[in-house]
């Protein structure tokens, strides 16, 4: 994790679909230049009266799945905290909360990465000016990424069947549209 200072600002990302609050089952695939995250989207079955639950797994069919491709990825974290330990996240007091998608403006993490890189003989702080800090807070985990931007595609599950598409998107991260209809895109 990183240490924050008083400059970090948490902003919601309203253009990302709401992850399932029960079982988003996020899946992450990454290389040195891109990261792809897939997760179940929150949906309520028609006629649901709140008295029953649906058990969801990696192979549950016919649920909406969001696939988010982070372009120009520099670093990412995937793991704790979960929703029950979220008070322990350093940005929780700034408005970060479980089950949401956020961008961190004036990110301490990006500034720490730039500082770490400053020992490189060809370092330039300008190299870090195009990076953005994103956080996806799920039920049982949190994903954070420093990248240049992201694209979103929504399809139907099961989530296990998206891995092949995720690999295609990862391999084509430099291409704006590798044969996939993006529903939303955040670019500089």
Tens digit of each residue's pLDDT (9 = 90 or more) over 72-111: 999 999 999 989 999 999 999 999 999 999 999 999 999 9
Tens digit of each residue's pLDDT (9 = 90 or more) over 49-64: 666 677 788 888 889 9
pLDDT(122) > 80: no
* DSSP symbol at 15: T
Q: Count CB atoms within 10 A of the CB of residue 27.
A: 19
What is the rounded average pLDDT of the residues 35-55? 80
Residue with tokens 């350093």, as numbered in its chain? 90
Rg (CA), the chain: 17
Going from the C-alpha of 25 to that of each of 42, 66, 69, 107, the distances in angstroms are 12, 11, 17, 27
What is the model's pTM?
0.88
Going from the C-alpha of 185 to that of each of 13, 55, 175, the distances in angstroms are 11, 31, 13
Lowest-confidence region among 1-15, 130-144, 166-180: 166-180
pLDDT of residue 16: 96
Phi–psi pair at 100, nearest 5 degrees: -135, 170
Burial class of residue 25, CB neighbours in 10 A (0-12, 13-18, 19+): buried
Q: 3-state DSSP call for residue 162?
A: helix
Give dist(CA 106, CA 117) in Å, integer.
18
pLDDT of residue 120: 85
């Amino acid at each position: 994790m990183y240490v924050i200072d008083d400059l970090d600002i948490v902003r919601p990302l309203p253009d990302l679909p709401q992850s399932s609050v029960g079982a988003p089952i996020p899946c992450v695939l990454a290389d040195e230049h891109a990261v792809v995250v897939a997760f179940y989207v929150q949906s309520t079955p028609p006629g649901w009266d709140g008295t029953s639950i649906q058990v969801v797994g990696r192979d549950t069919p016919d649920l909406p799945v969001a696939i988010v491709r982070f372009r120009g990825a520099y670093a990412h974290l995937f793991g704790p905290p979960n929703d029950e330990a979220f008070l322990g996240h350093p940005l929780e007091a700034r408005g970060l909360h479980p089950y949401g998608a956020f961008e961190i403006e004036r990110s301490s993490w990006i500034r720490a990465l730039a500082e770490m890189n400053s020992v490189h003989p060809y370092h330039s702080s300008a190299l870090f000016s195009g990076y953005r800090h994103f956080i996806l807070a799920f039920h049982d985990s949190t994903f954070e990424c420093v990248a240049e931007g992201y694209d979103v595609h929504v399809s139907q599950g099961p989530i296990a069947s998206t891995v092949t598409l995720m690999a295609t998107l990862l391999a084509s991260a430099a291409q704006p549209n590798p044969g996939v209809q993006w529903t939303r895109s955040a670019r500089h």
